[in-house]
Every structure is written in structure tokens, then in C-alpha cells.
Structure 1
Amino acid sequence: MADSNFIDYVKFCSRSGAGGAGSAHFRREKHVPKGGPDGGDGGRGGHIILRGNSQLWTLLHLKYRKHVIAKNGNGGEGGRRKGKDGADVILEVPLGTVAKDAETGDVRFEITEHDQEVVLTKGGRGGLGNDHFKTSTNQAPHYAQPGEPGIEEWIILELKLLADVGLVGFPNAGKSTLLSSISAAKPEIGDYPFTTLVPNLGVVPYRGDKSFVMADIPGIIEGAAEGKGLGIRFLRHIERNSILLFMVPVDADSIKKEYEILVKELKKYNPELLDKRRILALSKSDMLDEELMEEMKSDVPEGVDYLFVSSVSAYNLDRLKDLIWKAIVE
């Protein structure tokens, strides 16, 4: 998953089609010189529609599409013939896409299912033909409705990854190494901060035919909720995860303090994130013996399930998967 290909934010101008005008036509045939009104209705303007596609994982295909314009509806015709509707424009988006009004920031809707379709910008209605306006006192109306204009608006699409487990931790905590150890994902791994610049998804096989999806989110730093580092850009991806797997390396100055900073950043960004089930993985434990692990338990925060793990030696990885699966099922 190359960082240049992962786009989770796009902004574009969405313009729906205008409705066609109704027709003010009168029936004129060889043997009917003064027939009544028979003007048809105008066609509807084209909608801009979003459709979910489970095969997509990025908004890259919309990055350079700054204007999305639907066709106008055609006008009505005599003989009560309705005008043709304007062609809709369907934009396929990955699951987890949120549509927002660019001016107000209000969330319109979210796409969470494959083939789910939602109208983003509605096309204008077609005008009514004069056939609709005849009455007993006005049998020959010479007017018809104009079509409604289309809507032009600026839209923001944001992608929030759909995963069962979200990895939360400081840069260099071992998140990418864990994901590469227990899934087929191959994120970039290096011994320096911010190796991961984009979220990575991995499917983790579990005991036979079961599996769950894990997302490696770029590292959070203190102050991420205020926009420092890379964290703020990717914190929204954690919102979709049902379980948060916190990763703190055992060589941290204080396990408890590092965990509390991570929790604080999530709370500042969105307090609802703290309602999710939390598991703490103490990474890089291959450098510890049983005695050291016992000593370090006093520095582990209370009220959270935890395990000493090592992605390099695979120590306790099966137990970690058991713990995660149990939390998912519950």
C-alpha cells in the first residue's frame, strides 16, 4: 500500500442537472383543429450519487476530479410526452466514506455497505406541462412550469477505515511489525519514528476459517488532537474500529504514563472513543525474562486487559489473538 496511492480526503464541486421545462403545447391534428392542452412534463435533472464498493480502499480516483456535473433533463413535448431525465453521475467510493458539506462541516451520510447508493446532490425536478393546469374555467392554459435549477455545492469526502481492531501507539511502538507478523500485510518497517505514513489493513487468520481485520494507524504523538505530527490526520480511522489495541514498548520510560497520554489524545479528539473495548499489548518483550515481567506489572495501568508480547519471537501472539477474538465476539 504505497503512501502516494492512499488518499482519504477529497473536496470537489458537485453540480446536479436542472429539470427540463414543461411544454405548453396544444393538440393539433387534421380533424382536431382546436384540441386541448397536451404538453408533457420536463425530465428530471441528473443526480450525483455515491455508491459503496468493497473493492476500493482509497479515494485516489477522485483526487483530481474537482468538478462533478450531471446532465440536465430535457423539456416536455406535445402529446403528453415527458422529457428524458438527465443522466445521473455515480461515484464509486470505498466503504467507510463520509460525505460532508464543505461550508458547514455537517455530515450528510456514511457509506458502509457494498452497492449502497445514496443521492449526494439531487437533480432539479422537471416542470409540469400545460396539461396539468386545465380546469373547467381555464380550458386552454398557455403556460407550463419551468424546470427546477440544479444544485451546486462543495462537498468533502473523508474515508474512515473499516476494521475490527485499530492499533494505537506512539511512533516506533512496534505496530507495523505486529501487523506483518500476524497477517499477510507488508507495511514499511524501520527503526525510526513515522515509518508508517498511511494506514495499513491486514486480515488476521484465526483458528481455522475465522479471521478479523486489523488497521495499523500512523503513530500518535502528544498533542496529536491539536494537529501535531501525523496523528490528527489519521485519528478518524480509529473511530470505526470496534476494539482498540494499545501498544506500548516495554523499554518505555513509564508504561502507565505512555498509555495515559494515548488515552488523553483519543479523549480530546473524540470522547466516544473511550467507550470502545481496550487491550494493551506490551511489545518488544523478547528482551525480558519472567522476573523482569513480574516487576514491570506494577507499572501497568489498572482496569485494562494486557499481555507481554513480542512480534520478533512470536511470544504470546496466539494468546493475543485469543484475547482479541474474545473481545470481538463479546
Structure 2
Amino acid sequence: MFIDRAKITVKAGSGGNGMSSFRREKYVPKGGPNGGDGGRGANVVLIGDANLNTLVDFRYKRIFKADHGGNGQSSNMHGRGAEDLLIKVPPGTLIKDEATGQILGDVTETGQRVVVAKGGRGGRGNARFVNSVHRAPTFAELGEPGEERSLMLELKLLADVGLLGYPSVGKSSILSMVSAAKPEIAAYHFTTLSPVLGVVSIAEGQNFVLADIPGLIEGAHEGVGLGHDFLRHIERTKVLIHVLDVSGIEGRDPIEDFHKINNELTLYNEKLFKRPQIIAANKMDLPEAQENYQRVAAYMTGLGHEIYPVSAATGDGLTALMQRAAQLLAEYVEEPEEIAEAKVYEAKATEDYSIRRDDDGAFVVEGAGIEKLVAMTRFNDEEGLRRFQAIWRRLEIDEALRERGIQEGDTVRIRDMEFEFKP
């Protein structure tokens, strides 16, 4: 089963908790704090694996959780960092954040790694908070929560040459004749419902991957039929073989078919239309094709396209067609990437925050820094609570809440913690 789209949820490991402890040994009075730090939580990493060619495994498992870091121990012993969670995906997988649509990575090679969720850092033990004023701190931090996000995975086949054309023009038959691939072939439209790959060997050490892209129809660029699903797989091909049924026995004109398909390519992605494209005039074993060929060949030559008369039924002409495709592939020059306008990103203080009203009237304080502080504070520890209050005052959150109209007794919410506001 060929699956080329999947949605998964990933959660990186949280950092381990810091330890609050003091040195207690015989003959060592007033031993100082010696609580160790927690270990870092595991990242979630997607890694390319050439043994995979679909995303079918993600139909059965869609939630992936990485391990948490180990907790800190006494005697300044730090917790163990967790090993990254590796998720195997086939080369050609595009990774997007579902919430924002941001592209997080593009796995194109075996062994390539993309970190999609970062593990939280370990909480600091009480030994890390010793200073000249505070010689015996009792508080320690909790571990930072790991990132969690939903991902959309899209597989775009990594084929060198793509066969395209209307349904039933003979693409699958050509692939089966020139490679060991065995696509389904029958006398009706849309036999091929998913892309099929085959390896074409021209000579010893010279081969390329050929993809049978399912038939396109008018309106494919707007998603008509399975247009977007099919067009996506053409994007990575370097050379296109446009297969035409020159016999016209389906009642369509091959020249009109040619323009309709290329119009779909242009509307979907103009770069596709500019790829090297050669014409395979198929079904030359039929009398109708013999009659039509001269007209079609003269027209295509006038447009500057090479045309090769072939018969998928008998195999005639396919060797020359594949040799020419291999030659164009060897001459192919990678298209330069469009350089977007340079953007300057300024470091953003982690102390930035915003305040909004929730539907229930609560004042919600949001921001990476304040949310991390709440997640890593032990509120049942008196010193930890005092430290939180000191940072709260330094950030002037009380003043900001008053400007938003907060009153005594109103609820303040940060992450999953709620506070009652008191001036």
C-alpha cells in the first residue's frame, strides 16, 4: 500500500528535576547544598532510511513520545540525559508544522536527521543557587517540559525521470517493459492510483529511477481528481517523458492532450514546465498511430521538442527513448534556488510576555520565559515561591495586569497554573 501523507504527534522528553539536598557526613558540620542537576530530555529526530518507500507505518502509530531526563541526585550527581528518539522516514519526506505550516525540514538522503521537537533542559539542583548572600538555598528547579507539536509528513518520490500524460496512454506499460517494476495494467482509465518506481539500466553502472506518475486530467492543479497528490511527485524529477497516445483511439487529439497536461504543470509550478521534456509517441503498432504520427511529429518538432515513436506493446523504440532520457539526465543542471529577501532576526528576550482575557474572564499571561518559569518552579517550596515572586516583580507583571483592568480576586492563568490576584 502506497501512503504519501501522514499526520503524527511528537513530544520530546522533559528535563529531569533538580535535587535539593545537603551534605551530611560525620565530622562535617553544616555541610553545604549538594543537589545535582537533572538530565536533558530526549529530542525527537526524523531520520532518512532508504529501506522505506512509503509512510504506511504511520497509519498504525501516530503518537511518539521521547524519554525524560534523569533526576539529579545528592552529592552533586547529575541526572542522565535521555537518548534521542529516532523515527525513520523514507528519503523524499517533507516535514511541516501542522499549526503554522512552517517547513521544518526536507529529508532527501539516507541518514539525514531533522530535529522536530527539542527535549527540555534539566532543572538545576540547589547547589547551583549558592551565592555570597544565600549560602544554603533549599530550592531546586523542576525539569523544562519538552516540545510537543503535530506534524504533517508529505512524501515526494525521489525519481530521476517521470512518465506523465493522460490516463491510458501507456505509461505503466512502458515502465513494465524497461524495468523490473510490475505496475497494474488494464484496459480502463486510472489503473494506476499511486506512483510506481522502477530502475532502468542503460549500461553497466549507468541507470536511473523512472516513475510512473498516475494520469493527470484537466483541473489537476486545482486538486481535481487526485491532481495535487500526483503533481507533488513530479516536483523532484529532473527529466520528463510526456507519453502521448498518437493513435487517438480514445477519441482525444494527442496535440490537445499535450497542451492540457503542460498547462496543468505550469499552473501548479512553473518550474515543472521548464524541465527537459521529450515526447514518447506511443501505440505505434496501431494503424491509426501510423496515420497520425507525421502530423504530431511535425507539430512537436516545430515547438522544439524531440519526439520518439514507440510501442509499449512490442517494445519498439523504447531503448532509444531511455538512452536519450539518460543523456538528458547526465546533462541536467540543478535549477538555482530562488533567494528570498534577506530577513534580519533580532534575539528576542525570553522575558517578553503578553496578556489576554480568556472566555471565562481570567487574565492569561503568555510568553516563553514566564511559562518556562512556571513549569520549572516548585511552588510547594517556600524559597522557590519567593524566587518566583521576585522574578514576577522584576518583570512588572502586576503593573501590566493593572493596566489591563485586573481587580483583586480575579484569576491569573499561566500554562496550567492559576493564581488569585492580590495587590
> Would the TM-score normalized by the shorter structure come out above 0.5?
yes
Distance across 1 between alignment mates of 2:56 and 2:290:
48
Query: Cα 1:299–1:254, aligned 2, differ >3 Å: closer, same or farther?
Result: farther
Flag the structure with larger Rg: 2
Tell me the residue number matched to 1:60.
56
2:285 match: secondary structure:
helix
C-alpha distance in structure 2 between counterparts of 1:89 and 1:208, whole Å: 40
Which residue in the other structure is 1:72 paired with?
Answer: 68
Name the CA shift for 1:276/1:33 in 2 (closer, same or farther; >3 Å). Answer: farther
* Amino acid across the alignment from 1:206: I
Aligned to 1:254: 253
User: Which residue of the partner structure matches residue 293 of structure 2?
Assistant: 293
Cα separation, 1, equivalents of 2:42 and 2:3: 27
Identify which of 171, 174, 180 aligns with 1:178.
174
1:79-94 correspondence to structure 2 within 5 Å: 79-94=75-90
TM-score where L is the length of structure 1? 0.93
Task: Give the corresponding residue for 1:273.
Answer: 272
Q: Which amino acid aligns with 1:294?
A: Q
Question: Aligned-residue CA RMSD in angstroms?
Answer: 1.8
1:211 equivalenced with 2:232 (yes/no): no
Q: Could you tell me which of 10, 35, 39 is aligned with 1:39? A: 35
Match of 2:155 in 1: 159
Task: Indicate if the aligned counterparts of 1:280 and 1:306 stay in contact, CA closer than 8 A.
Answer: yes
1:166 alignment partner, SS class = strand
Q: CA, structure 1 residues 322+189, in 2 after alignment: closer, same or farther (shift >3 Å)?
A: same
Moved more, 27-36 or 285-294: 285-294
- The correspondence for 2:99, drawn from 96, 103, 108, is 103
State how far apart, in whole Å, the 2-side matches of 1:162 and 1:117 are.
17
TM-score normalised by the chain length of structure 2: 0.73
Letter in 1 for 2:254: I
Amino acid in the other structure paired with 1:281: A
Q: Distance in 2 between matches of 1:90 and 1:256?
A: 49
Shift of 1:55: 0.9
CA distance in 2 between counterparts of 1:86 and 1:295 reads 68
Kept after mapping to 2: 8 A contact 1:21/1:42: yes
SS in 1 for 2:321: helix
| 1:214 partner SS | strand
Distance 2:83 2:204 in 1: 47
Q: Which letter does structure 1 place at the counterpart of 2:209?
A: V
CA distances 1:78-101 after superposition (whole Å, capped 9, x unpaired): 112111223432211111111111
Deviates more, 1:198-207 or 1:294-303: 294-303
User: Deviation per CA, 1:20-50, whole angstroms, max 9, x where unpaired?
Assistant: 1212222221122322222211111122111
Q: Report the CA distance between 1:291 and its aligned residue.
A: 7.0
CA–CA distance in structure 2, aligned partners of residues 227 and 293 of structure 1: 32
1:329 maps to what in 2? Answer: 330
Counting aligned pairs with the same residue, the percent is 44
Which amino acid in the other structure matches residue 266 of structure 1? L
The runs of 5 or more residues in structure 1 that have no matched partner are: none
Asked if the contact 1:164–1:242 (Cα under 8 Å) also holds between the matched residues in 2, the reply is yes
Per the alignment, residue 263 of structure 1 pairs with 262
Cα distance in structure 2, aligned partners of 1:292 and 1:62: 48
What amino acid does structure 2 have at the position aligned with 1:80?
N
CA distance in 1 between partners of 2:290 and 2:57 (Å): 51
CA distance in 1, matches of 2:274, 2:89: 28
The worse-fitting range, judged by mean Cα deviation, of 153-162 and 128-137 is 128-137
Which residue of the partner structure matches residue 316 of structure 1? 317
3-state SS of 1:61 partner: helix
Residue in structure 1 matched with residue 44 of structure 2 by the alignment: 48
| Amino acid corresponding to residue 207 of structure 2 in structure 1 | S
Q: Secondary structure at the match of 1:286?
A: coil
Distance of 1:196 and 1:295 partners within structure 2: 29
Moved more, 123-132 or 234-243: 123-132
Instruction: Tell me: higher relative CO, structure 1 or 2? Use CA pairs within 8 A at least 6 residues apart.
Output: 1
Among 2, 11, 14, the alignment partner of 1:15 is: 11
Whole-angstrom CA distance in 2 between matches of 1:10 and 1:290: 46
Q: Distance in 1 between matches of 2:56 and 2:12?
A: 22
- Stretches of structure 2 lacking an aligned partner (at least 5 in a row): 332-423
> 3-state SS of the aligned residue for 1:318?
helix
How many residues align structurally?
A: 326
For the 8 Å contact 1:58–1:159, the answer to whether it is kept is yes
User: What is the CA–CA distance in structure 1 between the aligned matches of 2:23 and 2:231, rounded to whole Å?
Assistant: 64
Instruction: Assess if the C-alpha contact under 8 Å between 2:119 and 2:147 holds in 1.
Output: yes
Q: Please give the per-residue CA displacement for 1:236-286, whole angstroms capped at 9, x wherever unaligned.
A: 111111111111110244333211111111122222222322122111122
Contact 2:281 2:293 in 1 (8 A): no
Residue 118 of structure 1: aligned partner: 114
**Which AA in structure 2 matches 1:186?**
K
Deviation string for 1:289-308 (max 9, x for gaps)? 87753333233260222212
Cα deviation 1:109-142 (Å, max 9, x = unaligned): 0111112222111111111222222223332222
* Native 8 Å contact 1:19 1:125 kept in 2: yes
2:232 corresponds to which of 229, 236, 244? 236
Kept after mapping to 2: 8 A contact 1:282/1:307: yes
